Chains A and B, each alone.
Chain A
Amino acid sequence: EDALLRAPQNISILSTNMKHFLTWSPVIVRGETVRYSVEFQGEYEREYANGSWIPICECSFITATVCNITEDVSATVAYNLRVRADVGTRRSKWGTLKGFFNPITTSLTPPLMKVIADGYHLLVELEDMGPAFQFCVLYWKKGQESRMQQKMVKEVSFVVHLDTMEAGPDYCVKARTYLEVINRSSNFSQPQCVRAQGARSVWL
């Protein structure tokens, strides 16, 4: 009778900016190719659908030990996840993630940002992190940190105009991501400061 195939271990989630990946340690069987299959179960399935599990077909019989579960784990509820291994006709038990995963716990990073001074105009270019992301942009005259101004930016496929600048002082800008669906923000990015000139834009 075939030796029992060990269930995948060290199952964990890597979740950043609402991109969620399930990872696990490989099951080693000398001279054999081990394949893995992943299933998920949301709170709805647990409470209203007899605890049913749903397979992720992109992660069925894969050889990789990582699965992108972003599309399926999309609601802000507690999810269960499990993985099993297959070698030929031998199949392991399910290895299940310890505890639930709720996308609300994703880690948020500040956006990549580029501040531009174009004549007297203060502009910012922000990384496109997806339709659900907004950006809280703060800008102020250097030395006047108490008089920061704020602009919420939703559309980031363009260079966004923030404000006009007086000639002379430095203007600083920092930004953080905001996700309305989980009502959380990242830390602020490092400030970037520029100065208005007659016509030349200058980095400082």
Chain B
Amino acid sequence: SGELYCSLPNPRNVHFESINMKNILHWSAPEGTGDGVLYKVKYLVYGDSKWIRKPECRNINRTWCDLSSETSDYEEQYYASVKAFLNGRCSDWIETTRFNPLTDTKIDPPTVSVSSTEKSISVILTAPEKWKRSPEGEPVSLLQVYPGLQYNVSVLNKKTKKRWFFSVSNNTLVVPWLEPGTDYCVSAQIHITTPLLHSGFSKEYCIATLKDKTA
């Protein structure tokens, strides 16, 4: 009967992994099943009356499925579910917790471009883009999604090993009165207060101030 047919152990740890609203469903294979397990995936807009099958993730043997397109409206919330099949047996449908793209996504660090003069460095910060369906698609900056987005910028003087921090609301920072002919390394982090989200710090971008011509 149905119970026997669906007596395969369930997929485990079914959850969304989201970065810049690229929303990938992940799971682990059922315990003790080894190779040959196939899966199918469905998802639901929370509050909608029907689950929707994801054809591209039907009878797949990988343990992830890209649902970015189906969950791109970040003003809605979602559930997704996975079922496993092996040798004529299947598991139950196993669901995620409720997924809120706006609060449950992780944010990449900003990109940082640095230029210098003799006594100053200029930093231009760019927030990452929200995931989009195709490269030709209209880019949407996370700045538009999170209007309260700010940057924390760290400036390290490589000679003195001292690090300063700046809180920047717009996307440029100029640090004047620096020592000529000195290496400075800049890295930046995104900070959002509502909802409370922050990225890691970017890698360091180092640049040297120009040498003092009069020296």
**A and B touch in their complex, CB below 8 angstroms:** yes
Give Cα A155 to B191, complex, Å: 9
Q: Is B179 an interface residue when CB atoms closer than 8 A count as contact?
A: yes
- Provided the pairs A123-B164, A160-B165, A160-B167 are in contact, do residues A155 and B152 lie with their beta carbons within 8 angstroms? yes
A140-187 with Cβ < 8 A to chain B: 153-155, 158-161, 164
Query: In the assembled complex, which residues on chain A have CB atoms less than 8 Å from the CB atom of B191?
Result: 155
CB–CB A161/B152 < 8 A: no
The answer to whether A121 and B160 touch (CB under 8 A), given A155-B152, A161-B166, is no
Residues of B within 8 A of A120 (CB): 177
Q: A123-B164, A158-B154, A161-B165 are in contact. List 18 more A-B contacts (CB 8 A).
A: A118-B160, A118-B162, A120-B177, A121-B177, A154-B167, A154-B193, A155-B165, A158-B163, A158-B164, A158-B165, A159-B163, A160-B167, A161-B155, A161-B164, A161-B166, A161-B175, A164-B176, A199-B179
Q: Which residues of B contact A (CB under 8 A)?
A: 152, 154-155, 157, 160, 162-167, 175-179, 191, 193, 196
Q: Interface residue count for A (Cβ, 8 Å)?
A: 15
Bound-state CA distance A136–B197 (Å) is: 23
Q: How far is the CB of B41 from chain A (nearest CB, A)?
A: 38
With a cutoff of 8 Å between Cβ atoms, the chain A residues found around residue B162 in the complex are 118, 159
Is A95 an interface residue, CB under 8 A from the partner?
Answer: no
Closest 7 A/B residue pairs (Cβ): A158-B165, A120-B177, A164-B177, A161-B164, A161-B166, A164-B176, A118-B162
Interface string of A124-149 (1 = CB under 8 A from B): 00000001000000000000000000
